[in-house]
Amino acid sequence: MIEVRDLRKDYHTITAIDGVSFHVDRGEILGLLGSNGAGKSTTIKILAGLLRPTKGGVFLAGYDVIRQTLESKRMRGYMPEFPLLYDNLTGYELLYFIGQLLDMREEEIKERIERYSEAMELEDHLYSLIGTYSKGTRQKITFIMAIMNSPPVLLLDEPTAGLDPRFTRLLKDWILSFRGHGTSILLSTHITAVAEDVCDRVAIIHRGKIRTMGAINDLLNSTGTESLEEAFVQVVDAVEGRDERAYLTSGE
């Protein structure tokens, strides 16, 4: 459902993404784990059709994101790390507008808004201006925007940022629920606990390259560590120290 082939993104003299390749099957969650500036958001923005790669291929649900941008956008829900929302609209107005852009039926739009806002406990904020929302409330409304039409692909960039522990748990439950219904999910995070809780496989990205990828247990075995946090630190330290040890890179 998600396929990335030899992806590269250059900004003048800076290479943000360098030869990244991976795939995400139907009903699978791949965690893109990396520090700030590692290349996670750039990769997801290219998949979302917001940036053009310097080279490489990206495909969502069989559509070429570069040549079939509009078709691919209909197949995905996208939750950016820093959402740009319309502060002078209410939450209800924004969600209704998004539903119309997605060509959803009016009855369906209203039902989804009611169901998702109740699940996220947004009823008290739904008719307030978005400009008055806290960061956590903005995250919730952004997640609902991403799932409004139950897309087959979800691209989630740091989805738990700004959420308190209770709603972090709720969001993770929702993500697992969508996986259970066959949604393919790419989730970027720098929080190893989030990746451990929801991801089937993890790709550690650092300085624009995937350094290792596989199921969490396989990563622990290959690095000789006992937690994903320890494995992540060891892989990044090895790169920074120019250690030539080869970690597990299967699972592509």
Domain ranges within the chain, ordered by starting residue: 2-240
How far apart CA 80 and CA 76 sit, in angstroms, is 12
**Residue partners of 66: CB distance under 8 A and separation at least 6:** 52, 53, 57, 58
Average pLDDT over residues 188-200: 94
Distance CA 163, CA 246 (A): 36
39, 123, 167 from 209: Cα distances, Å: 8, 42, 32
List CB contacts of 168: < 8 A, sequence separation 6 or more. 160, 194
pLDDT tens for each residue of 200-231: 999 999 999 999 999 999 999 999 999 999 99
pLDDT tens figures, 46-74: 999 999 999 999 999 999 999 999 999 99
pLDDT confidence band for 192 (50 / 70 / 90): very high
User: pLDDT tens digits for 123-136?
Assistant: 889 999 999 999 88
Residue 250 pLDDT level (bands cut at 50, 70, 90): very low
Closest by CA to 184, choosing from 68, 45, 30, is 30
- 243 — pLDDT class (breaks 50, 70, 90): low
pLDDT tier for residue 251 given thresholds of 50, 70 and 90: very low
Distance in angstroms between the alpha carbons of the first and the last residue of the chain: 13
CATH placement of domain 2-240: 3.40.50.300
Positive or negative CA dihedral for 114, 134, 183, 16? positive
Supply the pLDDT for residue 247: 54
Type of residue found at 54: T
What is 156-207 written as a DSSP string?
Answer: EESTTTT--HHHHHHHHHHHHHHHHTT-EEEEEES-HHHHHHH-SEEEEEET
In one letter, which amino acid is 76? R
Q: What one-character DSSP code corresponds to residue 54?
A: S
- The reported pLDDT for the residue numbered 164 is 86
Helix ranges (H only) for the chain are 40-47, 69-74, 91-101, 106-119, 135-147, 165-180, 192-198, 216-223, 228-240
Per-residue pLDDT, averaged over 6-10, amounts to: 96
- Alpha-carbon span 33 to 213, nearest angstrom: 10
